Amino acid sequence: MNDRVNTIDNSATYGYALPQAERQRVVRNTYWLLALSMLPTVLGAWIGVSTGITRSLGGGLGLAVFLIGAFGFMFAIEKTKNSAAGVPVLLGFTFFMGLMLSRLIAMILGFSNGASLIMTAFGGTAGVFFVMASLATVIKRDLSGMGKWLMVGALVLMFGAIINVFVGSSAGMMAISVAAIGIFSAFMLYDLKRIMDGGETNYISATLALYLDLYNVFQSLLMLLGLLGGERD
């Protein structure tokens, strides 16, 4: 979330001064690092599912571990993004996020059609990214004004999700998942457009923003599919 605040605070410089060659370099490095970041995520998820290390992280404990770990890593990424340590710290963060995702994946794999649900969520997330990347290349207008509204939506969503952890409402979780898919798909378009227009000059920050968008869309889509389409033997 720190990255989100910094992203929006920098919107005054959105897309106007960076030379074309530099923009292309940032986009290229961002895409490469984003692809690389998926490897620690998959590894973390696999270790979590295989060992069951996150099985006990339910309710308030799981929420506390996730928030402390995620915000701690994002703070460290912000501090190291201009140094040689930036990429390893980012990859450490994506490993942690994969580990945190493993509890949901293990739950989905408990369904008889769990593997297909995971592949559907993965395909759906890839489809959202492709659509938003395509839109970002053809939309000519400045989308920087979206940032503050999306940030408000993300904060409301976060507080709603925290409350629902303790309430445990399936209907609430479905509503949160649908809203998260919409908000973070829009964030994906906003971030892609900002990167392509030169509003982000650091590819580590750019990768972090897009990774969070993809992670939240995938997680929310997987949760929604599990709630609506999970089949027991």
Reading the block at residue 109, the tokens are 């794999």
**CA neighbor of 146 nearest in space, from 3, 17, 31, 7:** 7
**Domain-embedded: residue 6:** no
**Domain-embedded: residue 97:** yes
pLDDT at 59 (0 to 100) = 67
Q: Tell me: the pLDDT tens digits for 167-178?
A: 878 888 999 999
**Residue 191 backbone dihedrals phi, psi, to 5 degrees:** -70, -45
**Residue 143 backbone dihedrals phi, psi, to 5 degrees:** -100, 10
**CA neighbor of 33 nearest in space, from 91, 77, 79:** 91
Percentage of the residues of the chain whose pLDDT score is greater than 90: 62
Single-letter amino acid, residue 168: G
Rounded CA separation 208/2 (Å): 11
Q: Tell me: the pLDDT tens digits for 111-155?
A: 999 999 999 999 999 999 999 999 999 988 888 888 888 999 889
The residues near 116 (Cβ < 8 Å, ≥ 6 apart) are none
Number of domains in the chain: 1
Rounded CA separation 161/70 (Å): 15
**Domain-embedded: residue 67:** yes
Full domain range(s) for residue 120: 17-223
Dihedral of CA atoms 182, 212, 5, 83 in degrees, nearest 10, equals: -160
pLDDT at 232 (0 to 100) = 76
Cβ pair 90, 33 in contact under 8 A: yes
pLDDT at 168 (0 to 100) = 78
Q: How confident is the model at residue 12 (pLDDT cuts 50, 70, 90)?
A: very low
DSSP H stretches of helix in the chain = 2-9, 20-51, 59-80, 86-109, 114-138, 146-167, 170-196, 203-229
**Domain-embedded: residue 12:** no
pLDDT at 122 (0 to 100) = 95
**Domain-embedded: residue 230:** no
pLDDT at 18 (0 to 100) = 65
**Domain-embedded: residue 4:** no
pLDDT at 9 (0 to 100) = 44
6 or 71, which is more confident: 71
pLDDT at 87 (0 to 100) = 96
Q: How confident is the model at residue 162 (pLDDT cuts 50, 70, 90)?
A: confident
Instruction: Please determine, for residue 2, whether its predicted confidence score (pLDDT) is greater than 50.
Output: no
Dihedral of CA atoms 93, 215, 44, 103 in degrees, nearest 10, equals: 120
Instruction: For the full predicted model, state whether its pTM sits above 0.75.
Output: yes
Q: How confident is the model at residue 6 (pLDDT cuts 50, 70, 90)?
A: very low
Rounded CA separation 15/197 (Å): 4
Reading the block at residue 212, the tokens are 């969070």
**Domain-embedded: residue 104:** yes
